[in-house]
Structure 1
Amino acid sequence: MMSMSTPEVLPTRDPLYYISDGNIVLQVENTLFKVHRSMLVKDKSTFDSMFSLEAYTQNTEDALMSNNSEGESDENPIRLQDKAEEFSALMWSLYSLPAEIAFSMTAQANDLQLIHLARIAHKYQFRSTESWALGALTTYHSTATGSPSVQNLVQITELSILCDCKALLNAAVAKWKRLLGEGRAVAVAIGVAERLNLRSLLGLAYYSMMLKGREAWDSDPHLNSRQRIRLLSGHYNLIKLCEDLPSSPPRLTHDHSCVRKGKCKNAFAAFWRLILTTKDAGLVGQVLKLQSADLLAKVMLAESIIRAFAEGNISTLDLSESGDMHEKCLQIALHAAQDKVKEVQDNLVDLFSDVV
């Protein structure tokens, strides 16, 4: 019995960038592009050296005898190991009119096209094109109000690392934090942050997943067993830190003009303990409504209460148990609380270890 072979799928010409007067044919995946060599060698790209090597080879006797050199016909194109959509984005950047380019800097820009462009421009060393595309993506994702698709956000984050673009990475991380705040794509964020070694994002992602609770960890198909162990470890560590938090105020240094010495330190310690343990139903009592392991929310709320107190929005009568503090020491206490918030944020990832 004869076996049926799969018919060969012939490459098709790109509808936009198979240009009639082009002088070089390239095949990318199953798409043929016919463009101008002069466009490809712009910006001292890799194509410049590629074609220079080709020209050198064609000076040999064998090449002179050939009637069909590579890249001169659809039957013998130059084959590139790229994605057709990425190469199309590169051609768009080389052939577009100024108005089309300007549109890519607006809120209606096609960020996926810019991602494709930046990635292939990086590969072929179109330096100015890469820099422009990264700048356009950074502007777009720093100013756009909506959230990108999770798939696009993953690509943007990867691209920022590939191209070492800190501004784009900061914009991407800000988008991830917004998603985490909404409880979305948390497991995906964990995976991306682990793979790219993004410590601050990884800590927040684990923290966000921990707050969802054990049932959510066990049912999420994107989490592996090691990550679930990390979540258990983080939950245990955070519970312990929250239990110790009321008796562990941020370190207070006195202002040089303060003559009260230990009194300010004791007053601040009492103030800190009062914030984190009071059962009053007012602003301070909000701490008790938080999850028992929600360390970050507790220190952030404590910082906001100390700021309100320092700015005179909470009277001394409301917090009379804390005693009096020197005005300048109170400002120092506020800075200490702010430093505490940053310390917790920076070190969250270390609480989620592989050992429970």
Structure 2
Amino acid sequence: MADTNKPNPVAQPSALGKRGRSSVSPKGPPGKIQQMDTGFDMDTTESSSLNVEHTQTLAPVRDEVYYMEDGSCIFLVQNTLFNVHRTILSKDSSSFSTMFSLPQGPSSSPGPEGTSDNNPIILHGDTPSEFRHFLWALYALPPELRVVTTPSADLSQLIDIARVSNKYAFKTLETWALDAIQVYVNRKPCPILLAIPPPASYTFSVPHPKNPTSTSAVESGTAANTDQLTRLIRLAQLCGHQALLDTMIDLLTQLMTSSLQYAYLAMTLADELDIRALKGAAYLEIMQKATVVTAVDVDLTKPTISMPVGGTPFGAFGVSTTATTTTPTPPRTPETRILVTPSQQLRLLSGYYRLTRIWESLRTTPPPFEHAPSCGATWHQHGCNQSWVEFWKDKTRGDVVLGKGLADVLGRLRVIQKDYDRLGSSTAAYMHHDCRIAARRGIGECIRKIEEALPDLFGEPGDG
């Protein structure tokens, strides 16, 4: 066998192998390995597409670690050859086990695919580094594997292992990597928080209105600064690891309450991955605290509509429809200026409208509660109800409540709840004591229901 320390100057394979796999060229027909490449590629797809033209012009090189002299199956990942053992890759009922059981091609083929450098099995959608990390997990000894449970664990390596394991159906290895990630992110202090930069360093961009897939706010700006945070949320969603997903959602929810940049990131990820638990809270933060501007094409030869939403914080929700022949005037506070897509703006408008309608209903009709059994025996329930209604109307007209944004229903309800607790026995003096307790529970239940409904409130008109 050739010297493994020297590049192998074989030509780049271009024909289909015996099992119908395509060459490195993206124009080749899909094959069996390519069909397995339907999983989430994290952030590697873009880099793979950028490098494919360059790698086609270079001769493949053998990996320094995982091109083994006694290997029984040769893979080509981008421009790197790996020679590993079929028995190792066939474990865990993986996709490789299914692939190896397929019949060989016609006898006219240049030998079975994967048996020589000239005819390797070509894997698409991975990078050599990712595949190398995956192989490390398959071949590492127990003392080496224990490092993932220590502070010295390499989070990027674990993410690669989990993603590639998910792609090729190594379920046991995938679960092991995800559990190790869960241990890592739950360390105190949280390594994720220590790694992310201050929000002031972020830069954002939005998809072009005529080509929504051209640019992603996460990919173009935020992901450059919060790569691990976004990759972990995407990975947990891809693999269906609910514990890790809940941990990352809680972390991002905490971050976005103190930073609009994180709220913007959360809103974008919630839309991209359809994460209901993140969507409502993120849109609410943006609506309440940001000046929102829609990215649109401006033709200086025609009148346009300037649509800054908010002016002051979004709660004012002023929408200007004055025709102009110039670009929109920059907001007075550029640090809170958030660019959104037209669909995101529509969801924000819908949420604002629905929340204001909810408040208009609550303003005159307090949350219901069930009277205590003792109320009917010793008190007149009608008088108890009347006392509760009068208290509610008085508090909903208070300066502190009205000082909250018109759509800040949750903020207004929490102010009323706080006053209710502060006043104690003097609250709605003509209510039975047990009914006062039940009424407080009614406020809390109203807050809970609105929080649960936030994702639907910020849905587009017509959404169920």
Q: Please list the CA deviations of residues 293-350 of structure 1 after superposition, one character each: whole Å capped at 9, or x if unmatched.
A: 22222223433444x35xxxx4435x4xx21433332332232222111111122233
Matched, 1:206 2:283: yes
Counterpart residue type for residue 425 of structure 2:
T
Structure 1 residues 330, 97: closer, same or farther in 2, change over 3 A?
A: farther
**Separation (CA, whole Å) in 1 of partners of 2:388 and 2:186:** 39
2:135 maps to which residue? Answer: 91
**Separation (CA, whole Å) in 2 of partners of 1:32 and 1:298:** 62
Matched, 1:194 2:271: yes
C-alpha displacement at 1:95, in angstroms? 2.0
C-alpha displacement at 1:288, in angstroms? 4.5
What TM-score comes out, normalization by structure 1 length? 0.79
**Separation (CA, whole Å) in 2 of partners of 1:41 and 1:19:** 17
Matched, 1:185 2:262: yes
**Separation (CA, whole Å) in 1 of partners of 2:107 and 2:346:** 67
- C-alpha root-mean-square deviation of aligned residues, in Å? 3.2
C-alpha displacement at 1:91, in angstroms? 1.0
Matched, 1:80 2:80: no
1:166 maps to which residue? Answer: 242
SS at match of 2:448: helix
SS at match of 1:26: strand
SS at match of 1:253: coil
**Separation (CA, whole Å) in 2 of partners of 1:305 and 1:107:** 46
8 Å Cα contact 2:130/2:161 also seen in 1: yes
Structure 1 residues 139, 264: closer, same or farther in 2, change over 3 A?
A: farther
Q: What does residue range 203-282 of structure 1 map to in structure 2 within 5 Å?
A: 203-215=280-292, 218=308, 219-221=337-339, 223-259=340-376, 260=379, 261-279=381-399
Match of 2:174 among 111, 119, 130: 130
Counterpart residue type for residue 77 of structure 1:
P
8 Å Cα contact 1:252/1:333 also seen in 2: yes
Matched, 1:303 2:417: yes
8 Å Cα contact 2:291/2:338 also seen in 1: no
8 Å Cα contact 2:162/2:173 also seen in 1: yes
8 Å Cα contact 2:113/2:119 also seen in 1: yes
Report sequence identity in percent.
32
| Greater helix content | 1
8 Å Cα contact 1:150/1:185 also seen in 2: no
Q: What does residue range 4-15 of structure 1 map to in structure 2 within 5 Å?
A: 8-15=57-64
**Separation (CA, whole Å) in 2 of partners of 1:162 and 1:215:** 30
8 Å Cα contact 1:252/1:265 also seen in 2: no
2:145 maps to which residue? Answer: 101
What TM-score comes out, normalization by structure 2 length? 0.62
SS at match of 2:81: strand
2:164 maps to which residue? Answer: 120
SS at match of 1:174: helix
Matched, 1:70 2:110: no
Structure 1 residues 272, 113: closer, same or farther in 2, change over 3 A?
A: farther
SS at match of 2:178: helix
8 Å Cα contact 2:257/2:263 also seen in 1: no
1:293 maps to which residue? Answer: 407
C-alpha displacement at 1:126, in angstroms? 0.8
Q: Please list the CA deviations of residues 106-130 of structure 1 after superposition, one character each: whole Å capped at 9, or x if unmatched.
A: 4554333323222221221111112
SS at match of 2:122: strand
C-alpha displacement at 1:38, in angstroms? 2.3
**Separation (CA, whole Å) in 2 of partners of 1:305 and 1:103:** 52
**Separation (CA, whole Å) in 2 of partners of 1:268 and 1:109:** 58
After superposing the two structures, state which structure 1 stretch, 178-187 or 135-144, moved more. 135-144
**Separation (CA, whole Å) in 2 of partners of 1:88 and 1:274:** 67
**Separation (CA, whole Å) in 2 of partners of 1:353 and 1:45:** 39
Larger RCO: Structure 1 or Structure 2 (Cα < 8 Å, ≥ 6 residues apart)? 1
8 Å Cα contact 1:276/1:302 also seen in 2: yes
1:282 maps to which residue? Answer: none
Counterpart residue type for residue 238 of structure 2:
L
Matched, 1:329 2:443: no
